[in-house]
Amino acid sequence: MKISKRWKRILSSGLNIVLIVGPLVFLAIYPNLPQEPTSYSESLFFSLLDGNYPTIRQAKDAYEAGEIEIAKITLKQYYLNRPNDTNYELVCYNLTEEMERVDLAIQRIFTHHSKTLQLHTYPESETIIVNGREVPNTNWHDNPYPQDDEWIWQFSRWSWLEDFARAYIGNIAIGNISQAEIYARECIDLITDFIMKEPVGSAYTWRTLDSALRLQRIMTVGETLRYSTYFTPRFCFLFLRFIADHGRFINDFHKTQYNWAFMESKALLRLCAYFPEFTPTVDWEQEVWDTLSSVVQNTFYPDGASREHALNYHAIAARDVLDCLEIADYYPHLEGPLTLKDSILNSYLFLLHNTLPDYYGTTFGDTRLKYLKNYLGQGSVFYPSNPEFSYFDSNGNAIGLIPPNLSAYFKDIGVYNSRSAWNDSDALYSYFDGGTYGEFYHTHQDFGSVQFYAYGRRLLLDPGISSYTHDDYSNYFRQSYSHNVILVNGKQQSMAKPYDSQWTAGYLGSVARANTKDYGDMWDREVIFCNFRDTKPSDTLEGTSNSSDLNRYWVVSDFWHGKNDDLTLLWHLPYANISKLDENSKVIAEFTGNNNYNIRTDFISSNIGVYVFGPWNSMDIIYDGSIEEFGQPYGTRADRTETGYFENATTLRYQGVTGDSVSWFTVHYPAEGLPDINVTRIPFIFSENTYSDDSRGNIIGNVFTVTTSQGTDIHISLANPTENALLTFHYNGVEYGFKGQQSVLHFNSSDDLSQILAGNLEFLSADGLHLIEKSGSSVYIDENNTLEALTIQIGADSSVYVGTSLVPFGLIPRWNNGISLGPQLLEGNF
């Protein structure tokens, strides 16, 4: 590669700056250096055409004989007579709107990122002659909106070019040929002007990603406009050489990791499919397959999640792999490797389990609202025998058996998903991030963040907003302040890594736990999804699986292991009318001296009660925050009008002092109407000490009851697992004993034990009588047991389901009699 003298001087003087700025910025703007030669020479281009096509042979012979114009005329004849490629057909849905956009584009006025701006012209002359016609002297790479680099990047991808093509075919369809030809002329002049001014590799106009996306639109427009009278032999040559220039540039400079590599590979393969008459495409195709095979390995974890930690970019990358295989299947001269499909399966399973009941995805990292139904449909086409995807048809509609797993843990990224049902739009769904910090630009400072969904709407929000600008608004959404986490001494996280994590799940719920020492001392968060049922769910398409559910809600237990610190707990909800609960009726008992600020929402549909118990001195309900008042714009969700941003939010900000190591918990209870729930702290004994108020602190753990009209649940979440020490608690005069770390018992309204969700259950005792105990993998029920434990009929035998196990170090799904009554761990190989 030859670099001009001017750029050698720039590189020499700026070397230290480049080294300081580092690889991240370089990836964002590279390549922006002029490359020489800038384009295929005319002679080289013709020499690389495949002479096995008879008409192309004639064009090559004419060129070699020095008959340049005849060669270009013959080349155009061949291009016009090629069969139509239906993959590049456009549809004009609204001619009026298309023409309005094109009329502005002719004036060099374009809209990107909700900003409508006019491109600059060069100061020496406002107009120039292109194709014998006077046109604006357009400056293609100076950003008219320098506050946001994304504007010029989006412009350079040329989505506006297809507006010209749609306006052209729309006018053809109504017989307005003269207007159609005007749009064809203006479009061709724009392309020609760019070719003449912007040599390959120059400035922002030739970033590899933008060039790849532009290439696909250029091919589409060329296929559409090739019958126009303005599509001259000269322009036909320029057009074909232009797409060839893109191909060589992308082949030589494409990325080798993350979403850019996938999109660039797909664009290059589409060129190989579209222009096989250009002989270098044979080598370019092999480069595509080699790149995709390696980039899948270095972009995705073994569990299928993207190392970028952003679902939007995960979805793009995974889809592009299968899109490439679809392209290869459509065009006989292409052939994709069989192993590539299997390598991306886990990534599609990750998409499946991060799809909410409304078919939108979870929003973590730089991810806006993304509809995933078509992705699930594509998965069903490529993996028809996989039980996870047999639930869907090619359009993503539910048609078959349910996926076998209600819950999933992806250990490499550290994401935990749980749902109450697959076939119910009102089902509950939860997401918990207990994993490592991502490896690239699109990750956020969000360790420990949770997202909750119920009754058709999101109830606990994560913004998932991406932006390349660094204004206060954009910075806010990348930082911990906008996520459902804690802040320590007012500081956000700094690329937090998990110190330990645990997970287990069953049909009655799931438990996920992870901690980090990012704050110096350790913050430990446990997310419990309670999905109590009176029978094993029968997820069929004929009815909802949650019709007999007893209780469904979430508990988030937090533990602070360390010194005295100021804590801030953040919960982000949709913008809502919020009222404090009547503490006299809703809080039966509380630790003396602690202030519990509990609220409920009043949405039009699907409300949530947030019951927060902890070391709080105050709570702010913030609708419209400000940096001046809160240090960050808490409460704001979307003050922009772009498609994909969420509604405005309400931030609940709890503030308090730890008073040394401390624990606290929050109960999130969704309801179709106003939540009706009582949360009660209850006394318990640990190591012969009684804990009923704050005289001994609450570092031991959270022991409390959740009571509704459908029953009462007793929760035990300990900061550390018990070993020899037995934790006992009292309920209605009966004493129960546990060893372990997390347990939940459900009592029906008559106080009979009807279901158990127990972690590391050594035994359940009542007045000294062991009612249930386990030995190894077997569970024994005492013959004198009068409690109604949940039983599931399996053949002629009855198996007792005792829930799940959360042990200090390890991930253990609970089995009974060799039959799995809960989902399996999802760890790379499914």
CATH of the domain at 521: 2.70.98.70
Q: How far apart are CA 755 and CA 508, in angstroms?
A: 8
| Residues with Cβ within 8 Å of residue 199, at least 6 apart in sequence | 34, 35, 38, 39
> In this structure, is residue 232 part of a structural domain?
no
Give the per-residue pLDDT at 305.
95
By DSSP bridging, strand 684-686 and strand 678-681 are: unpaired
* Residue 532 domain flag: yes
The residues with which 568 forms a beta bridge, in sequence order, are 487, 655
Q: Are 806 and 760 in contact (CB under 8 A)?
A: yes
Cα gap 459→600, rounded to integer Å: 11
H or E segment and range at residue 640: none
**Cα 6 from chain centroid (whole Å):** 43
Q: Identify whether the C-beta of residue 7 lies closer than 8 Å to the C-beta of residue 34.
A: yes
Please give the structure tokens belonging to residue 16. Answer: 């230290």
pLDDT of residue 762: 58
SS3 767: coil
d(CA 278, CA 405): 49
**Dist. CA 394–CA 397, nearest whole Å:** 7
- pLDDT at position 425, please? 83
The single-letter code of the amino acid at 460 is L
- What radius of gyration, in Å, describes the C-alpha atoms of the chain? 31
pTM, entire model: 0.84
Report phi then psi at 472, rounded to 5: -60, -40
Residue 646 confidence (pLDDT): 54
Q: In the block, which residue shows the tokens 């005069």?
A: 733
Q: Which two tokens stand for residue 512?
A: 């996920």
Angle at which helices 177-197 and 233-253 pack, to 10 degrees? 50
Task: Give CA angle at 316 (313, 321), nearest 5°.
Answer: 130
Helix (H, G, I), strand (E, B) or coil at 528: strand
Q: Looking at the chain, how many residues does it have?
A: 830
Nearest to 549 by CA among 759, 746, 821, 294: 746
pLDDT score at 816: 25
Which residue spans within 678-741 are E strands per DSSP?
Answer: 678-681, 684-686, 689-691, 701-708, 711-718, 727-731, 734-738
The answer to whether residue 286 is domain-embedded is no
Is 622 part of any domain? yes
Neighbouring C-beta atoms of residue 276, cutoff 10 Å: 17
Angle formed by the axes of helices 177-197 and 95-106, nearest 10°: 40
* 8 A C-beta contact, residue 56 and residue 50: yes
Q: In Å, how far are 405, 709, 802 from 790, measured between CA atoms?
A: 20, 20, 8
- Does the residue 523 lie in any domain? yes
Residues in Cβ contact with 812 at an 8 Å cutoff, skipping those fewer than 6 apart: 504, 805
Q: Extract the runs of DSSP E, i.e. beta strands, from 397-520.
A: 407-410, 415-419, 429-433, 450-454, 457-460, 486-488, 498-506, 509-519
Q: For residues 405 and 823, is the Cβ–Cβ distance under 8 A?
A: yes
DSSP assignments along 623-650, one per residue: SS--HHHHSS-TT----S--TT----EE
Retrieve residue 413's tokens: 């990224």
Q: Where are the beta strands (DSSP E) in 672-809?
A: 678-681, 684-686, 689-691, 701-708, 711-718, 727-731, 734-738, 742-747, 753-758, 763-766, 769-775, 778-781, 791-794, 797-800
In this prediction, residue 487 carries a pLDDT of 92
Q: State which amino acid sits at residue 103.
A: D
717 neighbors 741 (Cβ within 8 angstroms) = yes
Burial of 655 (0-12, 13-18, 19+ CB in 10 A): middle
Residues 398, 355: contact at Cβ < 8 Å? no
Give 155's DSSP letter. Answer: H
- Name the residue with tokens 């040599």: 199
pLDDT of residue 643: 44
Provide the β-strand partners of residue 612.
Answer: 666
Beta strands in 536-677 (DSSP E): 549-561, 566-574, 578-580, 599-601, 607-613, 616-622, 649-657, 662-671
Angle at 330 between CA 372 and CA 90, to 5 degrees: 65
Ranges in the chain, pLDDT < 50: 1-37, 535-545, 547, 584-593, 639-645, 694-697, 749-759, 776-830
Q: Which whole-number Å values give the CA distances from 19 to 2, 23, 159, 425, in the listed order?
A: 22, 8, 34, 51
Q: Across-strand partners of 371?
A: 360
Distance between CA atoms of residues 51 and 485, nearest Å? 64
Is 808 inside any structural domain?
yes
Q: How many domains does the chain have?
A: 1
Q: Which domain holds residue 768?
A: 407-820
Instruction: List the structure tokens of 823.
Output: 């989902």
Asked if the structure places residue 515 within a domain, the reply is yes
DSSP code for 84: P
Q: Token match 């037995």: residue?
A: 726
- Is the four-CA dihedral 473, 524, 568, 713 of positive or negative sign? positive
